[in-house]
Amino acid sequence: MFELRSLALETTTVCNSKCVVCPHDTLLERPLTHMTTDLFEKVMWDVYRNHRLMGPVGFGGGMGDAGCDKHLLERLRFVRRNMPEYQIDASSNMALWKRDWTDAVVGERLMDKMRFSLLAYTDAGSLRMYKRADQVRKACEAIDYFLERNRAAGNPVTTEIYTLLVPEDEGDVEGIKARYWDQVDLFEVWRPHSWANLFPELRTLTAGRMRCSKIAAFDLLVCVDGDVTSCTMDINHQNVYGNLNHQTVEEVFAGKAFAAYVEANEAGDLGRFDLCRNCVFINDQKQEVLLEAKSRERDERFKVGI
């Protein structure tokens, strides 16, 4: 039995968005598809029966958007019905999110937390960040409806806004904050990261490296085809521990592939792997990358410029 800090599921590689800081349309080499129901249920039963999950089940990790997963509602219902004590989180850019999905999620209490990813506010900002001038308007309509339905039901779902303050920002972040800061439970403004080593100039790479917490804490990321990989940065599955189509979670984490990453991590030598060599998440120096945050308990307005 393993204690898993979290379970992230790439239930789809389909995404409606063309975010400029995401490598989906430029570096992704894998097919656009959905995780099969059989694989999804196999993974969930394996974790539930054989391991201790300490954190949430996350939908929307990897290269796809939860709003593009055609099986999302049936997956949520499966977890709620069979593993009612599990915390369920999801994230979406919301531009394709359906109103009847909101009705089901709120009415049936299918999630514990919903994270809205909103990277622009104006039409010009939407075009700059998503290459579509109308994406933000569609997303905001869906977010507004979700918040309205959630409030009417007594706020059963914790809501969060996630955004990025890019150097080219022309007031979009302030617009998002003005509209949503007081409407959601959680709010985060981040300095953009170099996802999959795209745009490395967005965060400085330090010479010293530290251990990767995702390896040390048994974070389980299951990709759409069953591959278990090191993290969401591994968009083309360079660092794979095993595959849950034909292995169990225990076999993967007890295997030689995972042991090699644990050994390298403990030795501070993750740089031997191409994917990890330029990763800013294992910088050994604290960088001010969370610029502003709001929780239920307090507002943290750091006002750190980028």
Is residue 78 within 8 A of residue 39, CB to CB? The reply is no
Pairing state of beta strands 57-59 and 219-222? unpaired
CB-based contacts of 89: which residues, under 8 Å, 6+ apart? 56, 57, 58, 59, 111, 112, 113, 114, 115
Q: Could you tell me if residue 191 is inside a domain? A: yes
- What tens digit of pLDDT does each residue of 60-93 get? 877 899 999 999 999 999 999 999 999 999 999 9
CA distances from 264 to 144, 244, 249, 260 (A): 46, 23, 21, 6
pLDDT in tens, 112-129: 999 999 999 999 999 999
Secondary structure of 88-123 as H, E, C letters: EEEEECCCCCCHHHHHHHHHCCCCCEEEEECCCCCH
Task: Establish if 270 belongs to a structural domain.
Answer: yes
Pairing of strands 3-4, 52-53: parallel
DSSP class of residue 274?
H
Give the tens place of pLDDT for each residue, 12-35.
999 998 888 887 877 888 889 999
| Of 215-224, 228-237, 291-300, the least confident | 291-300
CATH number reported for the structural domain that contains residue 251 in this entry:
3.20.20.70
Domain for residue 83, yes or no?
yes
Residue 102 belongs to a domain: yes
Q: What is the DSSP letter of 86?
A: S
The DSSP letter of residue 299 is E
- Reported as a pLDDT band with limits 50, 70 and 90, residue 182 is very high
Structural domain range at position 174: 2-295
Alpha carbons 43 and 79: distance in angstroms, whole number:
11
Query: Considering the chain, what is the average pLDDT of its residues?
Result: 90
The verdict on residue 52 lying in a domain is: yes
Which helix H or strand E contains 172, and what residues bound it?
Answer: helix 172-180
User: What string of DSSP letters covers 194-254?
Assistant: -GGGSSGGGSPPPSSB---HHHHTTEEEE-TTSEEES-TT-TT-SSEEEETTTS-HHHHHT
300 part of a folded domain: no
- Whether 58 is covered by a domain: the verdict is yes
Number of domains into which the chain is organized:
1
Tell me the three-class secondary structure of 134-168, residue by residue. Answer: CHHHHHHHHHHHHHHHHHHCCCCCEEEEEEECCCC
pLDDT at 304 over 50: no
Residue 304 belongs to some domain of the structure: no
